[in-house]
Structure 1
């Protein structure tokens, strides 16, 4: 019963929390929060409890490769949502899912050390961020965002619970490599990005997905720490350290980004003052 409660409530509650944060502080923050391991973390933790530390270590290592597909999903979804004829959320989501799933199936065939997989995930995240950074300013103004219907948050929670339960239930048949690669499958990201596109349009969806890529650095750190710590330390200590490390890295990156933006604004202001004089 306790395992079923974890499957049905932990990840959905985290997705709902990130959605509420997005309404309060904007879509980019919502994307960053949902890109943290709020869905894959519970999947890997439940997998550890059900199948043991050895299975979980291999799955967590494979999850690092799954982040490559997640970065691909973010780029493809953002690009498709901007094109005439593909802006409808269902079409955009299905096509993005298809490409992500094909990439996952290909990546599941690879067995690489966790350190190498970490480097590959970082490279994919950086590449995706560059692509969306170049195209983000080209998106036209979004349509007015209507208040979400009453069923919005329950639907997000239900979609997340369904997908998490399906993957964790099938883990024994899929094996650690495919389970791990599929763990970062854009479950929470799909829910948040799909609803954002349907309710707010392509610009808000693009901002959300740029936030997703910003959150993948911490996601990768989480998977790496679980992969190397879960066998020697056990589930609870390993996941605790991984969560702390993830939050610390995201906080450091957030402060670095804020400092960089402040320096850029100061330099622009100084240039404007010199030009005006």
Structure 2
């Protein structure tokens, strides 16, 4: 089995599995924070690096921070849509449909605007994530309840992640680096985990989770903003400092949000 196939088959599902288990142990905020870190996006970029080379992967990664604006729109769409779909039998599907319609519209608009590789727009996305989490996303009405995570649900989550990662990497040649970069941070974890959370734990848990996603995505944006410069000097070893930057910025943003809410 080559490296590309291994990344597609194992990395994405493993990330979703770890985030889901974190949610089971520490609650939806932890699952959201881990899901917002560039774990899935890193899997996509790694697969592209192995399959298409460093230049293509770096060009793709440089568009990822701008693509976070589409994530902001997606998370807010889920938050507001969850009000109307909570408690319904297939409410999770309606919530996801609203979110993905908004996400794809925003992502395609960004890719076609010529701003996909704009550094100022990418940097501004970090502030946009924090402002959305603090002031725009609806607040939960009550503290969320941690619910059990059946094994079959964990397997289903991981299978959905496998399908989404494989689809995105498989379409890379057709989409090109700009659109693939915008979609690199596509809400794979943000689709799989909130869907099950709404069905099993309700809207309040989803809102706490989405706030975690938004703060975790600050780490994603920061790491991909730094990746082109790091790759130019370190090549494939750039993944290590980029990961450290992602973790530091993601958890730093989470710490800041917790201080502001006191």
TM superposition score normalised by structure 2: 0.90
Distance 2:203 2:165 in 1: 27
On the 8 A contact 2:24/2:147 being kept in 1, the answer is: no
Cα distance change, pair 255–70 in 1 and its aligned pair in 2 (3 A): closer
Distance 1:255 1:213 in 2: 13
Cα distance change, pair 207–251 in 1 and its aligned pair in 2 (3 A): closer
Residue in 2 that maps onto 1:37: 38
**Greater CA drift, 53-62 or 27-36:** 53-62
State the shift of 1:233 in Å. 2.4
Cα distance change, pair 122–257 in 1 and its aligned pair in 2 (3 A): closer
Equivalent pairs counted in the alignment come to 258
Residue in 1 that maps onto 2:248: 248
- Structure number with bigger Rg: 1
Distance 1:251 1:36 in 2: 9
Residue in 2 that maps onto 1:126: 130
On the 8 A contact 2:33/2:250 being kept in 1, the answer is: no
Cα distance change, pair 114–52 in 1 and its aligned pair in 2 (3 A): farther
Cα distance change, pair 118–148 in 1 and its aligned pair in 2 (3 A): same
Residue in 1 that maps onto 2:109: 106
State the shift of 1:94 in Å. 1.0
On the 8 A contact 1:57/1:227 being kept in 2, the answer is: yes
Distance 1:252 1:129 in 2: 14
On the 8 A contact 2:40/2:165 being kept in 1, the answer is: yes
Cα distance change, pair 86–77 in 1 and its aligned pair in 2 (3 A): farther
Corresponding position: 1:94 with 2:97: yes
State the shift of 1:180 in Å. 0.6
State the shift of 1:147 in Å. 3.2
Aligned to 1:99, the other structure's residue is in SS state: helix
Corresponding position: 1:27 with 2:28: yes
Listed as ranges, the gaps of 5+ residues in structure 2 are: none
TM superposition score normalised by structure 1: 0.85
State the shift of 1:255 in Å. 4.2
Distance 1:20 1:127 in 2: 28
Equivalent residue runs for 1:1-277 within 5 Å:
1-2=1-2, 3-83=4-84, 88-112=91-115, 113-132=117-136, 135-137=138-140, 139=141, 147-234=148-235, 236-258=236-258, 264=262
On the 8 A contact 2:87/2:199 being kept in 1, the answer is: no
Aligned to 1:185, the other structure's residue is in SS state: coil
State the shift of 1:28 in Å. 0.8
Aligned to 2:185, the other structure's residue is in SS state: coil
On the 8 A contact 1:80/1:86 being kept in 2, the answer is: no
Distance 2:244 2:17 in 1: 21
Cα distance change, pair 117–52 in 1 and its aligned pair in 2 (3 A): farther
